[in-house]
Structure 1
Amino acid sequence: MPPQIPRNLLRAARARAVFQSTRPCHRASPIRFQSTEAVRQTPSEGKPIYNAPPREFTHRKEEKIPSSASTQARRAVASPLKLNTQNLAQLQNVSIPTYNRQGVKQGIVHVGVGGFHRAHLAAYVDTLLEQFNVQDWSICGVDLQPFAAPMRDALKPQDNLYTIIERAAEGSSARVCGAITDYMFAPDNAEAVVAKMAHPDTHIVSMTVTESGYYMNENTHELQIDHPDVAADLAGGQPPRTVFGYLYAAMARRHAAGLRPFTVLSCDNMQKNGDISRDMLVSFARHFNPEVAEWIASNGAFPNSMVDRITPRTNEEDKISLAQQFGVEDAWPVVTEPFHQWVLEDKFVDGRPPFEKAGVQIVPDVHKVEEYEMIKLRLLNGSHSAMGYAGQLAGFNYIHEVIGHPVYRQFIINMMQQEVKPLLPQIPGVSVDDYCNTLLGRFSNPTLKDELPRICLGGSGKIPQFIMPSIAEQIIAGGPLRRLTLVAAAWFRYNNGVDDAGKAFKVDDPMVEELQAHAAQGPMAQLNIKSLFGDDLRNDKRFVAELQTALEGLEKHGAMAMIEKYA
């Protein structure tokens, strides 16, 4: 079920607004959140200190090829080599791992080996293995669902190696990541996956399974025991379907063997992702064995985290470009940006890698993670939603095209500064203005070619997280919300599946049937979906009037005209 605006959100927003109005103001020194600078840690405060020399993820041999030099690069590369261990040393134009991949232990099992994991957690681990001689923390990748079979088929022949293509306006670089030293496909052998998680050498089970993979009822914040996947796992007698089925089975074995629990590390884009992981797993375990459930709750660790790195979908053009420019034939490379950030609660039960050496911001206080997460979700993801839905309606294809249009750019700047920024927490040493400027630069990167359909997919899980909380808090504060409301209206109109020129497009959303059924009843009808919006927003006269005006304007004049009017 997608995230909704809880019934008590307005009351919570009011309490939070009072809290923020009484907290001391801190002078924020100019600082970017985190790019390629190393971060070290003071044990007493846990604050990141940006005084280490600049470093990329890796210092291995690496060539950055300017965009203008692509033709020369093609001439220089004779014939691309298939990526695998045997050919690794022959690759000339990319950074390669020099550590002994067979000599490191797999201390991490990661569930969900998609593009983001391979550009984020795996890249951090690769840096630790390469630069800091870490021996116990390589990754065993795991996919649980049958639809992930293409990833299995891509990684296995490559000995689980893959290429990270980092694209910036001034050029591109490529590195081969060796952090994933084993891969398991659960539909092929579910028992092997459970055994791997339960093994004493596994200290962390991390996961990137998207919001829907947590099976949390957003009304009650409880496990959706009536969901077919969860119900099947609770019935038993067959291989698990959910991540919690696998986690529980492995935890139960460790409990029986007298071992510690492993740390469950969520890398999904949700606030309080660690807390949610704990609550769902403990609830799942209670249906099988209350003793094991209590053992997990009392002895387990579920650190909260904030993750950030824009990672577009890989397409055939990316594979061809990699072969032509860098001489690597990779079945599934990952494309990403130079920027990367990970704010991680220091809450581990069975050891952890020295993540801070690779640039992770380790914080002792869960509230600090929540503050970083709020800033990121409402500014980055909220702006992505604003550009995605209105941009799709106006006929744009890529994020950099949308932010490159002066009218859209001004709209995004004013939405961030006037309607979102006043609601955000103040973090000592962090300049929100600098972060906003960094975002504008990241959005403007033309080499990423971040497609709007990727930004728009799953809107029923995004708008309630990234846009509606700011609207609810502005209602309490009596502040401006016209632009935020226009974003919500653009999403409503987007769900019809037709842009302003009459061109049809696919609405990729788990609730698409319900959304379009309501949309067919009229522009405002989607506001009646209680699982998304509850009652508070639907009953607020100011918001309803603003939404009605925005929807009528989009219908009559189109997205471009309304963005210009509201900018």
Structure 2
Amino acid sequence: MKISNATLDQLSAKIQRPNYNRSELKAGIVHIGCGNFHRAHMAVYLDDLFNLGDGHEWAIIGAGVRANDAQMREDLATQDFMSSVIELDPDGVSARIVGAMIDFLPVEKANQALITAMATETIRIVSLTVTEGGYFIDPKTGSFSASHADIIHDGAHPEQPETAFGAIIAALKLRFQRGFKPFTVMSCDNVPHNGNVTRDAVVGLATLSDPDFALWIADNVAFPNSMVDRITPATGMRERELAHSLGVDDKAPVTCEPFRQWVMEDNFPAGRPPLEKVGVTFTDQVHRFETMKIRILNGGHAIIAYPAGLRDIEYVHEAMQDDQIRAFLDHIESTEILPIVPPVPDTNLTAYQNLIVERFSNPDIGDTIRRLCLDGSNRQPKFIIPSIRDVIAQGGKASGLILLSALWCRYCFGTSENGNDIAPNDPNWDRLQARAIEARNNPVAWLEMREIYDDLSENAAVVEAFSTSLNAIWREGSQAVITSYLSGHT
């Protein structure tokens, strides 16, 4: 059955559907970037709230600023902007139709429809999932970069912006001119200190064209930090066939794990939906939750990704079925990562680690090793390098994490240990591969990528541990080296 308002009552009784009248919803949020994660996370929380009979003035208007967002708009428009969300629980698959989005703006070159919508007084939150790489962060400094071509364009042509941040600035200026309060800008991306990063991008871009207004934004617009979590694989034929097997004809179905978490600062001067009623945690200690997730979950993804990638393992749950990779994960988490994670309110870190193992092991998710290996040049400096630094600062050696970094280097050489080619899997793949080739004979060349390792190449102990690990991987193979590490000989 094709999803639409008219067919909701004809869907299988096993499929949960909105129990509220969608025609009575009013938009309070514009969301930029309506990919799988958004539709399995924020949209689901709001759908839960609406099902309680609450928050009906906080419906979502979808938006996008990239060319491929136009296809998502076209697909969702044929479904009255609803999506099927399928939870892949080993104890039983469940499906629901999420109706929290009521419109999707046209995707235009200069984003005028988006600017107009955000400038509407009833819009009180503008939220974003524009991916980790979409915040124009200079990897060398970790701060906003004004050198990207899109930023240069928007700085020179603020009335015809091409970026989400340029459109946000233009809409804020219109609201200011009309005497409307500013909306809250809420990042929902998996970026450390995502609110601060978003503020830096918006204020930094505004400074290029209107420094005075940039100061006004810094003083008057809220950018709450948040931590988001839900494993949501990409949609392909497998996911579409699963939706069909459940009786749903959906052009853009979303599959996800049962677990989800959302932790936010309560910094919404223009108001917010009462999301605490549906499990969202509001706290002034978001950074603690964030550090826990980044070090244990995202770091854990990297720990299993690269040894599995070198062995041509396709799926994450298959890597977890490999006794050595599972032991590698357990040992690094227990001995190097957990000891450096600060306490988190009402959270047992060991229990959280065990939950992560359970989530990674879910065979129904179909999450791929290749996805976990993607964009290491952006993820390693966020998820792994800080842990190496903290372990060393506390007097440890970080030998497992440094070995992981050597495995990443070997992966970027571009062939698996079975001799199969590894297709480019990073925006900076050519540079990484060139460095990995050089590092085969000169390991320190890899550590000299200062935008990733900063000054770690000057730490003699790190250089020795990395060089020893990488040389051993090339000489003996990754499995032998990991065995040696687990036996305490590395």
Residues 421 and 432 of structure 1 are in contact (CA less than 8 Å); yes or no, is this contact kept in structure 2? Answer: yes
The TM-score, its normalising length taken from structure 2, stands at 0.95
- Within the candidate set 353, 372, 392, 2:273 is matched to 353
- Counterpart of 2:373 in structure 1 is 456
- Counterpart of 1:270 in structure 2 is 191
Residues 144 and 185 of structure 1 are in contact (CA less than 8 Å); yes or no, is this contact kept in structure 2? Answer: no
- Counterpart of 1:83 in structure 2 is 3
Count of residues in correspondence between the two structures: 482
The 1:183–1:428 alpha-carbon spacing in structure 2 relative to 1, beyond 3 Å, is closer
- Within the candidate set 537, 540, 544, 2:459 is matched to 540
* Amino acid of the structure 2 residue aligned with 1:178: G
Matches of 2:469 and 2:95, distance apart in 1? 44
Determine helix, strand or coil for the equivalent of 1:342.
strand
The 1:354–1:223 alpha-carbon spacing in structure 2 relative to 1, beyond 3 Å, is same
Deviation at 1:549, TM superposition (A): 1.4
Aligned pair 1:564/2:483, yes or no? Answer: yes
Determine helix, strand or coil for the equivalent of 2:127.
strand
Deviation at 1:132, TM superposition (A): 3.3
- Within the candidate set 307, 319, 323, 2:228 is matched to 307
Aligned pair 1:495/2:400, yes or no? Answer: no
Deviation at 1:203, TM superposition (A): 0.4
Matches of 2:407 and 2:436, distance apart in 1? 12
Residues 394 and 558 of structure 1 are in contact (CA less than 8 Å); yes or no, is this contact kept in structure 2? Answer: no
Higher relative contact order (CA 8 A, sep 6+): 1
The 1:220–1:397 alpha-carbon spacing in structure 2 relative to 1, beyond 3 Å, is closer
Matches of 1:566 and 1:556, distance apart in 2? 15
Deviation at 1:222, TM superposition (A): 4.3
Q: How does 1:47-196 map to 2 (within 5 A)?
A: 81-92=1-12, 93-187=14-108, 190-196=111-117
Determine helix, strand or coil for the equivalent of 1:348.
coil
The 1:220–1:381 alpha-carbon spacing in structure 2 relative to 1, beyond 3 Å, is closer
* Amino acid of the structure 1 residue aligned with 2:30: V
- Within the candidate set 494, 500, 509, 2:426 is matched to 509
- Counterpart of 2:328 in structure 1 is 411
- Counterpart of 2:304 in structure 1 is 387
Determine helix, strand or coil for the equivalent of 1:287.
helix
Determine helix, strand or coil for the equivalent of 2:105.
strand
Matches of 1:513 and 1:435, distance apart in 2? 37
CA RMSD of aligned residues (A): 1.5
**Post-superposition CA distance 1:498-553 (Å, at most 9, x none):** 11001112122111121122222223222221221122x10111111111111112
Matches of 1:371 and 1:259, distance apart in 2? 34
The 1:474–1:189 alpha-carbon spacing in structure 2 relative to 1, beyond 3 Å, is closer
Q: Which runs of 5+ in 1 are unaligned?
A: 1-80
Deviation at 1:380, TM superposition (A): 0.4
Q: Which runs of 5+ in 2 are unaligned?
A: none
Deviation at 1:356, TM superposition (A): 0.4
**Post-superposition CA distance 1:371-424 (Å, at most 9, x none):** 110110010000101111111101211111111222211111111110001111
**Post-superposition CA distance 1:29-87 (Å, at most 9, x none):** xxxxxxxxxxxxxxxxxxxxxxxxxxxxxxxxxxxxxxxxxxxxxxxxxxxx1122221
Determine helix, strand or coil for the equivalent of 2:251.
coil
- Within the candidate set 514, 527, 532, 2:447 is matched to 527
* Amino acid of the structure 2 residue aligned with 1:391: A
Residues 169 and 206 of structure 2 are in contact (CA less than 8 Å); yes or no, is this contact kept in structure 1? Answer: yes
The 1:402–1:121 alpha-carbon spacing in structure 2 relative to 1, beyond 3 Å, is same
Residues 158 and 209 of structure 2 are in contact (CA less than 8 Å); yes or no, is this contact kept in structure 1? Answer: no
- Counterpart of 1:30 in structure 2 is none
**% same residue:** 39
Aligned pair 1:292/2:213, yes or no? Answer: yes
Determine helix, strand or coil for the equivalent of 1:321.
helix
Determine helix, strand or coil for the equivalent of 1:86.
helix
Deviation at 1:237, TM superposition (A): 7.0
Residues 227 and 290 of structure 2 are in contact (CA less than 8 Å); yes or no, is this contact kept in structure 1? Answer: yes
Aligned pair 1:466/2:383, yes or no? Answer: yes
* Amino acid of the structure 1 residue aligned with 2:327: Q
Determine helix, strand or coil for the equivalent of 1:343.
strand
* Amino acid of the structure 1 residue aligned with 2:450: K
The 1:531–1:185 alpha-carbon spacing in structure 2 relative to 1, beyond 3 Å, is farther
Matches of 1:185 and 1:393, distance apart in 2? 42
The TM-score, its normalising length taken from structure 1, stands at 0.83
Aligned pair 1:553/2:472, yes or no? Answer: yes
